[in-house]
Amino acid sequence: MEGRQEELYWLGITEAITLLRRGEVKPSELLEACLQRIRALDGRIRAFVTVTEEYALSRLEEINRDGGGLLWGIPLAIKDNICTRGVRTTCSSKILEGFVPPYESTVTERLLKEGYILVGKTNMDEFAMGSSTENSGFFTTANPWSLDRVPGGSSGGSAAAVASGMVPGALGSDTGGSIRQPAAFCGVVGLKPTYGRVSRFGLVAFASSLDQIGPITRSVKDAALLLEVISGHDPMDSTSVELTVPSYTNALDRDIKGLKVGIPKEYFIEGLDPQVERPVRDAIDVIRDLGAEVKEINLPHTPYAVATYYIIATSEASSNLARYDGVKYGLRVPSSGLLQMYMETRAKGFGQEVKRRIMLGTFALSAGYYEAYYRKAQQVRTLIKTDFEEAFNRVDVILTPTTPTAAFRIGEKIEDPLQMYLNDIFTIPVNLAGIPAISVPCGFTPEGLPVGLQIIGRAFDEETVLRVAYQYEQKTGWHLRRPPL
Ligand code: GLN
């Protein structure tokens, strides 16, 4: 079959599974199609920190020998803060540039068990701190829809790789929006699961009470499938919950007639770009036409979410990042004396944004300020969580824009951290409340940049979130558009 490889790389995970099982496509053909696509495009997109071609080829032999598994022969990319045994895991930080984990994260262990093939580790903002991948210690990733724009972040490499057809799916991590925001910017699907749904074992910690791993794919069904594989209790992560994992793929087909949908006033504010608001409003109309009952709701503490997040996330980060001292992991800058070695290693190994956050967090936790900042932030966090609980007494899901603007230009916000922080204004409250949310493509700006619709659900009710997303996607088909590469 000539010309086939060019099309193989646009196969979704679900479609590829069917063709692989029927023997119509070989795992080697699918893998080669992805690797060729990476060779052709990644010089311009720069989605990957490491392409694991050799590793993938040896893995191919393994899966051909062993057979079986839900994801047998499916090539995927993994964000570079998720540990892969024997494969360099850098968090896009100079301090971990040479770090090769001696163990496998639980999520990738589960993917391995189902027969997936790792093709590479994706670029990100250093330690997942950022919204554009510009904070990567190595290089910035480009948005496949417009190469002079950011792909979002921090999982920008994963989103760009999926959007440009280099892989059919990827994993990202989301602490304040890092799966959903890049998914929205790149016109793909991104799901942040409920806190505790997916094991964080082997995810390099940024803010442990907020971090969660989730899928980035080109369709809702593929996201449901990956979630099904990576979810579930893990004895290695005491915050992972002992609840049975439903079949997310089986939950998609039922219609959404009579479902109650809330639209929070606080998310349609000044600062929301009308070019983003328009497609989101249209999406709400589509969901109403599908039989849902749409009503306005209030989430009154929303205006405090960004400030609260930047106290809690930086506090946890300052503590989590204390381990990078030149002794235990990665980089060491030799110097005279231990303290000097610590200081020089951290000065050289960490980038500007990471240092800024360590300083902010250390300040917020220090004696005398703890009550005023950290404790206060925890109290406000509870209020934000309560807002959602009260809203979910009245509605089943909440719809909002994923981001206030479409993808911005590379360099546009990097000098102004506050502007950058505000880009996550609609995604952050969800992490503070620990609940699940998905971003699905819902249209384009007049310039042709993708726009994302966020669907937020009750804790551990990913099924309803995915079902609304799927019904919407089937009705509209925005996810079928491809970037002009
Ligand atoms: N952009 C947010 C931050 O910089 C969220 C990052 C994330 O979700 N990892 O912290």
- Sign (positive/negative) of CA torsion 363, 367, 369, 370? positive
Instruction: Please check the confidence at residue 335 and state whether its pLDDT lies above 70.
Output: yes
Answer yes or no: is 274 within a domain.
no
Ligand 1 atom closest to 309 (CA): 10
Q: Is the C-beta atom of 131 inside 6 A of ligand 1?
A: yes
Q: Are residues 139 and 222 in the same domain?
A: yes
CA 98–ligand 1 middle distance (angstroms): 24
Q: Are residues 63 and 133 in the same domain?
A: yes
- Sign (positive/negative) of CA torsion 400, 383, 175, 221? negative
Q: Are residues 325 and 249 in the same domain?
A: no
Instruction: Please check the confidence at residue 144 and state whether its pLDDT lies above 70.
Output: yes
Q: Predicted confidence band at 7 (pLDDT cuts at 50, 70, 90)?
A: confident
**pTM greater than the 0.85 cutoff:** yes
pLDDT given for residue 270 in this prediction: 87
Q: Of the candidates 482, 358, 409, 381, which has an alpha carbon nearest to the alpha carbon of residue 37?
A: 482
- Sign (positive/negative) of CA torsion 390, 395, 397, 402? negative
Nearest CA to ligand 1 atom 5: 176
Q: Is the C-beta atom of 178 inside 6 A of ligand 1?
A: yes
**How many domains does the structure of the chain reveal?**
2
Answer yes or no: is 285 within a domain.
no
CA 154–ligand 1 middle distance (angstroms): 6
Q: Are residues 359 and 462 in the same domain?
A: no
Task: Write the Ramachandran bin of 292: left for phi over 0, alpha for psi from -120 to 50, otherwise beta.
Answer: beta
Q: Is the C-beta atom of 231 inside 6 A of ligand 1?
A: no
Answer yes or no: is 319 within a domain.
yes
DSSP 372: I
Nearest CA to ligand 1 atom 4: 130
pLDDT given for residue 2 in this prediction: 44
Q: Which residues are catalytic?
A: 79, 154, 178
> How far, in Å, CA of 278 to CA of 442, rounded?
10
CATH of the domain at 34: 3.90.1300.10
Instruction: Please check the confidence at residue 258 and state whether its pLDDT lies above 50.
Output: yes
Q: Are residues 108 and 23 in the same domain?
A: yes
Answer yes or no: is 423 within a domain.
yes
Q: Predicted confidence band at 414 (pLDDT cuts at 50, 70, 90)?
A: very high
Answer yes or no: is 120 within a domain.
yes
- CA-angle at 290, arms to 285 and 296, nearest 5°: 45
Q: Residue 214 corresponds to which tokens in the numbers above?
A: 């989730």
> How far, in Å, CA of 360 to CA of 358, rounded?
6
Q: Are residues 311 and 196 in the same domain?
A: no
pLDDT in tens, 16-36: 999 999 999 999 999 999 999
Q: What is the mean pLDDT of residues 295-320?
A: 98
CA 8–ligand 1 middle distance (angstroms): 33
Ligand 1 atom closest to 424 (CA): 1
Q: Predicted confidence band at 5 (pLDDT cuts at 50, 70, 90)?
A: low
Q: Are residues 168 and 21 in the same domain?
A: yes
Answer yes or no: is 67 within a domain.
yes
Q: Residue 224 corresponds to which tokens in the numbers above?
A: 């449901």
Q: Is the C-beta atom of 92 inside 6 A of ligand 1?
A: no
What DSSP line would sit under 373-426, residue for residue? IIIHHHHHHHHHHHHHHHHHHH-SEEEEES-SSSPPBTTSSTT-HHHHHHTTTT
Answer yes or no: is 273 within a domain.
no
Q: What is the mean pLDDT of residues 391-400?
A: 98
Instruction: Please check the confidence at residue 406 and state whether its pLDDT lies above 70.
Output: yes
Domain that holds residue 328: 304-376
Q: Are residues 372 and 410 in the same domain?
A: no
The answer to whether residues 191 and 436 touch, using CB atoms and an 8 Å cutoff, is yes
Q: Are residues 408 and 368 in the same domain?
A: no
- pLDDT averaged over every residue in the chain: 96
Q: Is the C-beta atom of 130 inside 6 A of ligand 1?
A: yes
Q: Are residues 161 and 309 in the same domain?
A: no
pLDDT in tens, 94-130: 999 999 999 999 999 999 999 999 999 999 999 999 9
The answer to whether residues 462 and 193 touch, using CB atoms and an 8 Å cutoff, is yes
Q: What is the mean pLDDT of residues 430-458?
A: 98
Q: Are residues 357 and 423 in the same domain?
A: no
pLDDT given for residue 410 in this prediction: 98
Residues of the chain above pLDDT 90, percent: 94
pLDDT in tens, 157-216: 999 999 999 999 999 999 999 999 999 999 999 999 999 999 999 999 999 999 999 999
Ligand 1 atom closest to 131 (CA): 1
pLDDT given for residue 68 in this prediction: 87
pLDDT given for residue 328 in this prediction: 86
Q: Is the C-beta atom of 160 inside 6 A of ligand 1?
A: no
What is the SS3 assignment for 334?
Answer: coil
- Sign (positive/negative) of CA torsion 348, 354, 359, 365? negative
Among 317, 346, 376, the domain-final residue is 376
Q: Of the candidates 247, 120, 183, 241, which has an alpha carbon nearest to the alpha carbon of residue 426?
A: 183
Q: What is the mean pLDDT of residues 345-354?
A: 97
Q: Are residues 426 and 469 in the same domain?
A: yes
Ligand 1 atom closest to 210 (CA): 8
pLDDT given for residue 1 in this prediction: 42
Q: Is the C-beta atom of 400 inside 6 A of ligand 1?
A: no
CA 22–ligand 1 middle distance (angstroms): 41
Q: Residue 56 corresponds to which tokens in the numbers above?
A: 């993938």
Answer yes or no: is 295 within a domain.
no
Q: What is the mean pLDDT of residues 314-321?
A: 98
pLDDT in tens, 40-77: 999 999 999 999 999 999 999 999 999 889 999 999 99
pLDDT in tens, 376-388: 999 999 999 999 9
Q: Which of 1-10, 112-121, 215-224, 260-269 is predicted with the least confidence, judged by mean pLDDT?
A: 1-10
Q: Is the C-beta atom of 314 inside 6 A of ligand 1?
A: no
Residue with the larger pLDDT of the pair 417 and 195: 195
